[in-house]
Amino acid sequence: MSSVETTSKLLVTGGAGFIGANFVHYWLRQHPNDTVVVLDALTYAGNLASLDPVKANSEFHFVQGDICDTGLVEELLVKYELDTIVHFAAESHVDRSITGPDAFIETNIVGTHSLLKAAKKVWLDLRAADGLPPLKHRFHHVSTDEVYGTLAPEDPAFSETTAYAPNSPYSASKAASDHLVRAYHHTYGLEVTTSNCSNNYGPYHFPEKLIPLIVTNILRNRPLPVYGDGKQVRDWLYVEDHARGIELVLQQGQVGENYNIGGHNEWHNIDIVHLVCDLMNQAFTEHPELLKKYPEAERAAEGKCQSLIQYVTDRAGHDRRYAIDARKSREELAYQPAETFESGIRKTIDWYLENTDWWIPLVTV
């Protein structure tokens, strides 16, 4: 089987997290009759409220559980007759990986292996024992551009053939999981694909990440921390464009292949901070009634968000630049981001302004 024409019964791991939840929303809009089972441990980054928009859908099912529980995963694959795994579940915050790497090894490496074992048993081994051919299936693994290491200012962007050179415990754990997925395809014949994406932004993004941190700190009159000189470069991708890219990989991607999904949108971190400040200043100027909802946002109301910027000691092992070369996805899958950064960042800010009930509990615990 070279590609999956239709996927109708999905297990989405980490589906209560930022990218996973957005993928679930997107998938059920595009495929409203498909079964989607979300498995999420609901750790700090998993938020059940992020799935509120789909919880009334009769084809949506939520299970709280750990991907390291191989027996549970096997049970779900059998119970719901699932034919596709889209694997988002991961510890993903680099700072946390530096101070506490053990959780990253457990979730990102051991957890991925647990899923692979369950998929192999249910989709391949049990059927072989009954004299049946393998179940038509796909295991899609969602990875990151950070596995490739760092780029100098003039280096070409990361391609699918770039050698892995992870520099943090987080990226090293994701690199290891990528290799396990590849090995299960080449050794056992599990039908897999992997996508490596650039930095995502958009609704439901946990407030410790750069863009939502800047927005929510402005609203609470808190400092806007910028690592080092702020000149680190990242390629930014609107989260729904990422979900659409994964859909294309599932439907058209070649089994055993990796696909880079990027936004063609490189920015220095400090420029992102200034842009968000400008847009927040503008929002409060154009809508002064916002100050009633966010009385602490005095700097925004005065048009002085930039005064909150505070440079802090750089992160250990901080990669200088990431950039994705997504030509393979464009040429083989006809993938292009639909959202411009101008429209995407405005949508993101508007979402945080309108969804206080979602993010306030996350910054007050």
Q: How many CB atoms lie within 10 A of CB 10?
A: 26
- The residues that are catalytic are 145-146, 170
Q: What is the pLDDT of residue 315?
A: 79
3-state secondary structure of 86: strand
Q: How confident is the model at residue 7 (pLDDT cuts 50, 70, 90)?
A: low
Which one of 3.40.50.720, 3.30.540.10, 3.50.50.60, 3.30.390.30 gives the CATH number of domain 9-199+237-262+321-338?
Answer: 3.40.50.720
Mean pLDDT for the chain? 94
Give the position of tokens 């505070």: 310
Q: How confident is the model at residue 24 (pLDDT cuts 50, 70, 90)?
A: very high
- Break the chain into its structural domains and give their ranges: 9-199+237-262+321-338
Strands across the sheet containing 199-201: 199-201, 233-238, 266-268
Q: Could you give the angle at the alpha carbon of 171 between the alpha carbons of 169 and 175, nearest 5°? A: 115
pLDDT at residue 268 tops 80: yes
**Residues contacting 345, CB < 8 A, separation 6+:** 201, 211, 275, 276, 279
pLDDT at residue 3 tops 80: no
Pairwise CA distance, residues 216 & 37, whole Å: 31
pLDDT at residue 231 tops 90: yes
Q: What is the dihedral of CA 29, 238, 181, 71, to 10 degrees?
A: -50
Pairwise CA distance, residues 168 & 86, whole Å: 24
DSSP secondary structure code for residue 303 in this structure: T
Higher pLDDT among residues 145 and 6, named by residue: 145
Structure token digits, residue 252: 């058209």
Alpha helices in 145-238 (DSSP H): 169-188, 210-219
User: β-pairing, 224-227 with 309-312?
Assistant: parallel
Structure token digits, residue 355: 């969804």
Residues paired with residue 40 on neighbouring β-strands, in sequence order = 64
